[in-house]
Amino acid sequence: MSIRINDLTHSLQSFRLGPINLAIDGDYFVLIGPTGSGKSTLLRLIAGAFFPRGGTIIIDGVDVTHAPPERRNLSFVPQDYALFSIMSVRSNIEFGLKARGIPREERERRVSYIADKLGIRNLLDREPNTLSGGERQKVALARALAPNPRILLLDEPLSMLDSNSRMEFVELLKSIHREYNLTVIHVTHDFEEAYALADKVGVIMGGQMRYVGDKEFLFNSPPDIDVARFIGYRNNVVDGRIMGLDGILFIRPEWIEIGNFDSLRGTVTNVIDSLSGFYVEVTINGNKLVSLARSRPDLGAEVGVKILKYNVLPRIERGGASEGNA
């Protein structure tokens, strides 16, 4: 199932979205951006919750820009799940099937299949307000999958789950994408979540697409300063003059070694423990660099720093989405 978004624009009070241009073909596409960037607005425009001010939305060659949601062959799972609290789980899952006039026997077959797939058969006779966050999310997903859509839209699907449930859901969403042969658009503010799931990733900031492409390329070569800072708060974005270079440098923590080096010297000003090592902040002439080290240095120690790799970022974002391929 292909989606083509061409010069899409929309306005909400003082916020302006677009123009957005995007092509998605059967991918698990994750759209990331900070709060208020326009990612959920774009998702709702694709869903048909409201119509854009300009541009087009094409699904499998058909212009659905002003078509109602039921003509788009998609399902949308909002962040708050939007389950009917007075209905049982079974009735929630059946709701869209009844609206489409699907016979009772087929409805029961689909509910049974999806309940087994998601491991919620034991919940079918319960009401949503008796369920945990993870269980409610599974019910919302089951309701979305029951009509056999070709496109699945997910708005912050993991944001209300605990860490164990999040890990389970990452694997579940991967499995669903493969088994149902879906095009998925998944919105989140969490780059680690995007990295775990995406075939292709987009970054939206201030209503503009800043990047569309490969997640690994984005991870190592962000297109500008704002994106570099957004995708990792421990990423180093520093003035190149620290190394006698022009421009702004992007340096991942694992690209920096700490040891007895003479080229750059600094003072250890902070150390943060992590499962992968120690994030060590070294201050050099007022510039703070964060390295991922295997051993913990002493606070206040003078250390040498070796920069193994860096990328130069543009100082000014000129607009439009950068495209990346690893």
Boundary residue ending a domain (208, 225, 242) = 225
Q: 251 and 202 in one domain?
A: no
Tokens of 161: 């789950």
Q: 177 and 269 in one domain?
A: no
Boundary residue ending a domain (193, 225, 257) = 225
Q: Which residue, chain included where needed, has tokens 């969490």?
A: 190
Helix (H) or strand (E) holding 282: strand 277-284
Q: 13 and 162 in one domain?
A: yes
Cα separation, 235 vs 316, in Å, equals 18
Q: What's the pLDDT at 126? A: 95
Backbone φ, ψ for residue 264 (5° rounding): -130, 130
Domain that holds residue 285: 232-313
The whole-model pTM stands at 0.86
Cα separation, 239 vs 315, in Å, equals 10
Residue 318 lies in a domain: no
Number of domains in the chain: 2
Amino acid code (one letter) for 259: G
Give the pLDDT confidence of 58-91 residue by residue, as tens digits. Answer: 999 999 999 999 899 999 999 888 899 999 999 9
Over its C-alpha atoms, the chain yields an Rg (Å, rounded) of 23
Residue 18 lies in a domain: yes
Boundary residue ending a domain (190, 225, 260) = 225
Q: What's the pLDDT at 326? A: 36
Determine contact, residues 289/236, Cβ cutoff 8 Å. Answer: yes
Average pLDDT, the chain: 91
Cα separation, 240 vs 177, in Å, equals 42
Residue 319 lies in a domain: no
Beta bridge partners of 270: 281
CATH number at residue 289: 2.40.50.140
62 Cβ neighbours under 8 A, 6+ residues apart = none
CATH number at residue 67: 3.40.50.300
Q: 270 and 132 in one domain?
A: no
The SS3 call for residue 151 is strand
Q: Which residues of the chain have pLDDT under 50?
A: 317-318, 326
Q: What's the pLDDT at 6? A: 98
Helix (H) or strand (E) holding 47: helix 39-47
Q: What's the pLDDT at 242? A: 81
Q: 250 and 212 in one domain?
A: no
Cα separation, 40 vs 33, in Å, equals 10
Q: 216 and 249 in one domain?
A: no
Q: What's the pLDDT at 318? A: 47
